[in-house]
């Protein structure tokens, strides 16, 4: 691929963290209340990647989660389903064999969550996930190499993993909590998109801070810049610590304000969550629901 340092020169990555925080605060003060409504709640629900990424996951537990998705429409006929399910590589086959709904099967891969393994292992694990039935792959950038400013290696790794995805969509996790600054988050976003990522994602949920609204804003700015340059729409996925209905509405508001209506669907907007689904259902129906 092209020298990534030359590519980065085509973008403005000089961002001020204080100004980013102030802009996010302004967007929410003006737009959040109007987005607190049932239609938005349903859209957010339809954009959920229903996630189970625990060391205690069992085949039985994942199968039970899939059956909950299968029977969801019977229990909530007026609701859209979730956008996808997200599991560990060893659980992809169970998800595929149990899931009947035509939604995405996402698998984390490539040494998730640390990404501290050999590129050959990352490629092999990704290819195996796709072979088992994953239609979406979530990987973490090589954070250590990024922090060492070895941007070319970071980009080339993503590009090679993308090739191993075949027809599966690739979501690239930046682990924004480790990147610290808005400038670094924007650089990582551009690298991920230029290297072939179909989505950029905030966090693994395995370190703090996880998703933040400031990181979301910067990533959406990067997506907008990339779209203006290439005409290609890249998706955005916040993940990690997004639990309440208000949390979801805040991220929805950022996406709507920066990227516009075209991004407010599960083809271009996902929310990685395990507890959010029940909270959205509770807000929609006005009573406590603990379905998932």
Active site residues: 138, 201, 237
The vertex-18 CA angle with 13 and 22, nearest 5°, equals 105
Report the SS3 class of residue 200.
strand
Instruction: Yes or no: say if 266 and 49 are a contact pair by the CB < 8 Å rule.
Output: no
Closest CA to 199 of 134, 127, 272: 272
Instruction: Yes or no: say if 45 and 212 are a contact pair by the CB < 8 Å rule.
Output: no
CA atoms within 13 A on the CB side of 120: 0
Specify the long-range contacts of residues 116-120, CB closer than 8 Å, at least 24 apart: 116/142, 116/144, 119/157, 119/160
CA distance 124 to 256: 37
């Amino acid at each position: 691929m092209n020298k990534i340092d030359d590519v980065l020169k085509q973008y403005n990555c000089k961002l001020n963290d204080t100004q980013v925080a102030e802009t996010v605060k302004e967007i929410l003060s003006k737009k959040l209340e109007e987005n607190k409504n049932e239609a938005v709640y349903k859209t957010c629900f339809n954009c959920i990647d229903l996630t189970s990424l625990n060391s205690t996951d069992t085949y039985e537990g994942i199968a039970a989660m899939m059956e909950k998705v299968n029977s969801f429409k019977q229990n909530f006929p007026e609701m859209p389903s979730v956008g996808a399910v997200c599991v560990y590589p060893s659980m992809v086959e169970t998800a595929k064999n149990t899931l009947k709904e035509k939604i995405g099967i996402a698998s984390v891969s490539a040494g998730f969550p640390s990404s501290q393994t050999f590129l050959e292992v990352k490629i092999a694990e990704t290819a195996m996930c796709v072979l088992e039935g994953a239609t979406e792959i979530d990987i973490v950038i090589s954070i250590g190499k990024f922090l060492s400013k070895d941007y070319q290696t970071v980009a080339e790794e993503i590009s090679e993993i993308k090739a191993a995805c075949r027809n599966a969509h690739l979501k690239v996790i930046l682990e924004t909590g480790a990147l610290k600054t808005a400038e670094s988050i924007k650089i990582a976003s551009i690298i991920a998109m230029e290297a072939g990522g179909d989505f950029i994602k905030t966090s693994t949920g395995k370190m703090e801070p996880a998703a933040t609204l400031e990181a979301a804003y910067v990533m959406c700015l990067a997506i907008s810049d990339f779209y203006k340059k290439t005409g290609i729409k890249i998706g955005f996925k916040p993940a990690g610590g997004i639990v309440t209905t208000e949390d979801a509405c805040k991220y929805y508001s950022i996406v709507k304000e920066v990227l516009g209506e075209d991004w407010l669907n599960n083809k271009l907007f996902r929310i990685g969550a395990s507890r959010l689904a029940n909270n959205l259902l509770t807000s929609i129906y006005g009573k406590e629901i603990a379905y998932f």
